[in-house]
Chains A and B, each alone.
Chain A
Amino acid sequence: DSGVTQTPKHLITATGQRVTLRCSPRSGDLSVYWYQQSLDQGLQFLIQYYNGEERAKGNILERFSAQQFPDLHSELNLSSLELGDSALYFCASSVDRGWADTQYFGPGTRLTVL
Chain B
Amino acid sequence: KQEVTQIPAALSVPEGENLVLNCSFTDSAIYNLQWFRQDPGKGLTSLLLIQSSQREQTSGRLNASLDKSSGRSTLYIAASQPGDSATYLCAAPNQAGTALIFGKGTTLSVSS
Same complex for A and B? Answer no
User: Residues on B close to A: CB < 8 A?
Assistant: none
